[in-house]
Structure 1
Amino acid sequence: MKLKTKINLFSTLLTLIIMATSFTGIFLLYKQFAFQTEYTQLQNRANELMSGMSKMDTNMNINSFLRAYIPSNGALRIIDEDDEQLINMQATTTIERIPFILEENADYTISYWKDTPVIATNYPLIWPTGEVVTLELIEPLPNIAQNIALLKWILIAMAFIAIIPIYLASSLLAGIIAKPIQQLTMTMQQNITTNRYEQLPLKDNKKDEIAEMTTTYNALMHRLEDNYRKQQQFVGNASHELKTPLTVIESYAKLLQRRGFHNEEVAYEALAAITKETANMQEMIMQMLQLASANENVEMDLALTNIEVLLQEIALMMQQTYAREVHIQGHAFTLLTDAVKLKQLLYIFIDNARKYSEKPIVIMMNPAKQIIIQDYGIGIPEKDVPHLFERFYRVDKARNRKTGGTGLGLAIAKELADILHLTIHINSTVGVGTTVTISRKDVGANE
Structure 2
Amino acid sequence: MRVRTRIQVFSTLLLIIMMVCLNTTIYFVFQKEILKNEVNETAGKLMQAAGNLDSATTEMTRNSLLRAFVPANGMIRAIDENNAVIFTSTKESSYADIDHSFSAGQSENVLKQDGSSFAVASLPVIWNDGSVVKLEMAENIDSSLRILDVLRLILIIGTVLVILPTFLAGRLLSSFILTPIQSLIKTMEEIQSKGSFQKLELQDRSKDELYQLGNTFNKMISILELQYDKQKQFVYDASHELKTPLTVIESYASMLKRWGKNKPDALEEGIDAILSEAVRMKEMTNEMLELAKADDHLVLHLEDFELNKLCIKTAKNMEMATGRIVLVEKASTPVILYGDKQKIKQLLLILLDNAFKYGANTVKLAVNTTQENIILKVEDDGIGIDKKKQPLIFDRFYRADMSRNRGNGGVGLGLSIAKLIMTAHDGMIEVESELDKGTTFTCMFPAGQKAVDK
Q: Considering the TM-score relative to the shorter chain, is it more than 0.5?
A: yes
- Report the equivalent of 1:352: 354
Instruction: Give a deviation string over 1:71-107, Cα, whole Å, max 9, x none.
Output: 6645679999xx9999998786616477899xxxxx9
Instruction: Give a deviation string over 1:120-156, Cα, whole Å, max 9, x none.
Output: 678999xxxxxxx999876543134323234335544
- Report the equivalent of 2:432: 427
The two structures have a TM-score, normalised by structure 2, of 0.76
Indicate the SS of the match to 2:361: coil
1:231 aligns with 2:259: no
- Report the equivalent of 1:130: none
1:244 deviation in Å? 1.8
- Report the equivalent of 1:369: 373
After superposing the two structures, state which structure 1 stretch, 263-272 or 336-345, moved more: 336-345
Distance in structure 1 (CA, Å) of the matches to 2:183 and 2:293: 36
Taking structure 1 as reference, are residues 20 and 414 closer, same or farther at Cα in structure 2, changes over 3 Å only?
Answer: farther
The correspondence of residues 32-431 of structure 1 with structure 2, limited to 5 A, is: 32-35=32-35, 37-38=37-38, 41=41, 49=48, 73=73, 94=95, 96=98, 112-119=112-119, 139-156=139-156, 167-323=167-323, 324-330=325-331, 331-356=333-358, 357-367=360-370, 368-378=372-382, 379-430=384-435, 431=437
Taking structure 1 as reference, are residues 181 and 63 closer, same or farther at Cα in structure 2, changes over 3 Å only?
Answer: same
> Which residue identity does 1:270 align to in structure 2?
G
Which structure is larger by alpha-carbon Rg, 1 or 2?
2
- Report the equivalent of 1:104: none
> Which residue identity does 1:424 align to in structure 2?
I
Instruction: Give a deviation string over 1:335-371, Cα, whole Å, max 9, x none.
Output: 4444444443444334334444221421313133323
Whether the aligned pair in 2 keeps the contact of 1:353 and 1:361 (CA below 8 Å) is no
After superposing the two structures, state which structure 1 stretch, 154-163 or 366-375, moved more: 154-163
Indicate the SS of the match to 2:328: strand
The two structures have a TM-score, normalised by structure 1, of 0.77
Taking structure 1 as reference, are residues 393 and 145 closer, same or farther at Cα in structure 2, changes over 3 Å only?
Answer: same
> Which residue identity does 1:282 align to in structure 2?
K
Distance in structure 2 (CA, Å) of the matches to 1:380 and 1:137: 115
Indicate the SS of the match to 1:370: strand
Instruction: Give a deviation string over 1:107-126, Cα, whole Å, max 9, x none.
Output: 9755544455555678999x
Taking structure 1 as reference, are residues 396 and 97 closer, same or farther at Cα in structure 2, changes over 3 Å only?
Answer: same
Taking structure 1 as reference, are residues 57 and 279 closer, same or farther at Cα in structure 2, changes over 3 Å only?
Answer: same
Distance in structure 1 (CA, Å) of the matches to 2:343 and 2:122: 94
Distance in structure 2 (CA, Å) of the matches to 1:147 and 1:45: 22
1:412 deviation in Å? 2.0
1:192 deviation in Å? 2.1
1:375 deviation in Å? 1.6
Whether the aligned pair in 2 keeps the contact of 1:311 and 1:328 (CA below 8 Å) is no
Taking structure 1 as reference, are residues 376 and 309 closer, same or farther at Cα in structure 2, changes over 3 Å only?
Answer: closer
Instruction: Give a deviation string over 1:206-228, Cα, whole Å, max 9, x none.
Output: 32232222212222222222222
Whether the aligned pair in 1 keeps the contact of 2:429 and 2:441 (CA below 8 Å) is no
Whether the aligned pair in 2 keeps the contact of 1:312 and 1:328 (CA below 8 Å) is no
Distance in structure 2 (CA, Å) of the matches to 1:397 and 1:53: 125
Q: Gaps spanning 5+ residues in structure 2: where?
A: 126-132, 450-454
Indicate the SS of the match to 2:201: coil
Taking structure 1 as reference, are residues 406 and 135 closer, same or farther at Cα in structure 2, changes over 3 Å only?
Answer: farther
- Report the equivalent of 2:444: 438
Distance in structure 1 (CA, Å) of the matches to 2:335 and 2:85: 107
Indicate the SS of the match to 1:383: coil
> Which residue identity does 1:369 align to in structure 2?
N
Taking structure 1 as reference, are residues 157 and 395 closer, same or farther at Cα in structure 2, changes over 3 Å only?
Answer: same
Distance in structure 2 (CA, Å) of the matches to 1:335 and 1:35: 89
Whether the aligned pair in 1 keeps the contact of 2:42 and 2:119 (CA below 8 Å) is no
> Which residue identity does 1:439 align to in structure 2?
F
Indicate the SS of the match to 2:365: strand
> Which residue identity does 2:218 align to in structure 1?
N
Distance in structure 2 (CA, Å) of the matches to 1:180 and 1:100: 76
Instruction: Give a deviation string over 1:37-56, Cα, whole Å, max 9, x none.
Output: 5467568768x959x969x9
> Which residue identity does 2:399 align to in structure 1?
R
Distance in structure 2 (CA, Å) of the matches to 1:42 and 1:244: 114
> Which residue identity does 1:437 align to in structure 2?
C
Identical amino acids, percent of aligned pairs:
32
Taking structure 1 as reference, are residues 175 and 62 closer, same or farther at Cα in structure 2, changes over 3 Å only?
Answer: same
1:23 aligns with 2:44: no
Taking structure 1 as reference, are residues 219 and 435 closer, same or farther at Cα in structure 2, changes over 3 Å only?
Answer: closer
Whether the aligned pair in 2 keeps the contact of 1:374 and 1:434 (CA below 8 Å) is yes
Distance in structure 2 (CA, Å) of the matches to 1:370 and 1:438: 6
CA RMSD of aligned residues (A): 4.5
After superposing the two structures, state which structure 1 stretch, 228-237 or 424-433, moved more: 424-433
Taking structure 1 as reference, are residues 154 and 396 closer, same or farther at Cα in structure 2, changes over 3 Å only?
Answer: same
Taking structure 1 as reference, are residues 162 and 296 closer, same or farther at Cα in structure 2, changes over 3 Å only?
Answer: same
Taking structure 1 as reference, are residues 399 and 38 closer, same or farther at Cα in structure 2, changes over 3 Å only?
Answer: same
Whether the aligned pair in 1 keeps the contact of 2:39 and 2:110 (CA below 8 Å) is no
After superposing the two structures, state which structure 1 stretch, 185-194 or 296-305, moved more: 296-305
1:195 deviation in Å? 1.8
Count of paired positions: 434
Instruction: Give a deviation string over 1:226-279, Cα, whole Å, max 9, x none.
Output: 222222211111111111222222233334345532332332222222212211
Indicate the SS of the match to 1:375: strand
Distance in structure 2 (CA, Å) of the matches to 1:186 and 1:400: 48
Distance in structure 2 (CA, Å) of the matches to 1:258 and 1:296: 46
Distance in structure 2 (CA, Å) of the matches to 1:182 and 1:423: 42
> Which residue identity does 1:175 align to in structure 2?
S
Indicate the SS of the match to 1:424: strand
Taking structure 1 as reference, are residues 175 and 258 closer, same or farther at Cα in structure 2, changes over 3 Å only?
Answer: same
1:388 deviation in Å? 1.6
After superposing the two structures, state which structure 1 stretch, 208-217 or 87-96, moved more: 87-96
Distance in structure 2 (CA, Å) of the matches to 1:350 and 1:137: 116
Q: Gaps spanning 5+ residues in structure 1: where?
A: 102-106, 126-132
